[in-house]
Amino acid sequence: QIILEGVEKISKTLLAQNTIFGWVLSGLVAEPVTAMTTQVEEISNEYLNSQLRKFWELEELPPISVTTPEDQYCEDFYKATTTRSENGRYVVRLPLKQQFPNTLALGHSRTSAIQQFLSMERNLLKKGELKSEYDGVLEEYLHLNHMEEVNPGEKIVNGKYYSFYLPHHAVVKPDKKTTKVRVVFNASKATSSGNSLNDILFTEPTLQPDLMLLILNWRIFKYVYNGDVEKMFRQIVVHKDDQDFQRIMFRKSPTSPLRDFKLKTVTFGVNCAPYLAIRTLHELADSTKLEFPLA
């Protein structure tokens, strides 16, 4: 690709060869030529360093967690506000930040929730049976008393919003043999004030055990058991004073009027939900440890 056609004999010992860079002269010389070779080498241990760092990070024991003021506030708040209903279900309050609603306020959210529902509804109607499955999930909420219809409109007290409409959409998993459609609630959608429900809630502390320690603990015993708490979040009731922060829009038929509902249980998508679920699991274990010591 460098040498082109064209060779010219200039003299008995001198040739000219055409190349892409131009003509090159070659031939014998009367005096010896000292050749100089320049080499540039780079040795990089970046990959090795990266792999070694990842190894130590994987093998390193997790640091001892330090309780922050926010963590302590959430713990104290949980202990002071959590109760148990007559049917045995735990009733929890949402850990709202102290700045709410004065310097950290919500705004209007119903209109955007309606718009997202209508868009999602149009998409599901194009996919036939998926619309029926989606409706079935929310109908189950009603059947299990996990959702309740409310009067339409925002809840406003002294000019402050004490309600939030959760936009929701479908996540489709066609490979699932049972429920192919899952309803996902978006508590991070900003209201007209710029703040979302997640912005006014605490998320701390993280109570889930470290995965590595969980696996190490698993390996200690000869036999182990695992189990799944069905609808774990929805086994826990949200206090009625906080349920308006979990409102949604829903209807089964596009020809029916849109209706307002509130979710009555801990809801996946709300950032404090994992904390409330795990903390309630610990509370249940604490309250029944004398009755079931082996468990």
pLDDT at residue 153, as a whole number: 92
pLDDT above 90 (res 249): yes
Side-chain half-sphere exposure of 141, counting CA atoms within 13 A: 24
pLDDT above 70 (res 20): yes
| Segment of 122-131, 180-189, 258-267 carrying the highest mean pLDDT | 258-267
pLDDT above 90 (res 83): yes
Tell me the domain boundaries of the chain: 83-205+230-288
Residue 222 pLDDT class (50, 70, 90 cuts): confident
pLDDT at residue 81, as a whole number: 95
Q: Judge contact between 232 and 224, C-beta under 8 A.
A: no
- Which amino acid is present at 106? L
E strand or H helix at 73, and its extent? helix 69-81
Place of tokens 């999930």: 137
Q: Judge contact between 252 and 139, C-beta under 8 A.
A: yes
pLDDT at residue 218, as a whole number: 82
pLDDT at residue 211, as a whole number: 77
Residue 61 pLDDT class (50, 70, 90 cuts): low
Say how far apart CA 86 and CA 291 lie, in whole Å: 19
pLDDT at residue 156, as a whole number: 93
Residue 225 pLDDT class (50, 70, 90 cuts): confident
Q: What is the gyration radius of the CA atoms in the chain, in angstroms?
A: 33
- Across 238-258, average pLDDT: 94
Token pair, residue 237, equals 């009731």
E strand or H helix at 119, and its extent? helix 110-125
- Across 56-69, average pLDDT: 68
Strand partners, 238: 92
Percent of the chain at pLDDT > 70 equals 89
119-151 pLDDT per residue, tens: 999 988 888 788 888 999 999 999 999 999 999
Q: What's this model's pTM, rounded to 2 decimal places?
A: 0.72
Q: Judge contact between 267 and 166, C-beta under 8 A.
A: yes
CATH of domain 83-205+230-288: 3.10.10.10
Q: Judge contact between 264 and 242, C-beta under 8 A.
A: no
107 C-beta neighbours (distance < 10 Å), count: 15
Please state whether beta strands 22-27 and 83-84 pair in parallel, antiparallel, or not at all (unpaired). unpaired
- Which amino acid is present at 120? M
Side-chain half-sphere exposure of 217, counting CA atoms within 13 A: 8
Compute the mean pLDDT over every residue in the chain, rounded to the nearest whole number.
Answer: 86
Angle at which helices 273-288 and 69-81 cross, to 10°: 60
- Across 33-41, average pLDDT: 68
Q: What is the DSSP string of 123-139?
A: HHHTTTHHHHHHHHHHH
- Across 104-130, average pLDDT: 91
Say how far apart CA 98 and CA 73 lie, in whole Å: 10
Say how far apart CA 246 and CA 44 lie, in whole Å: 54
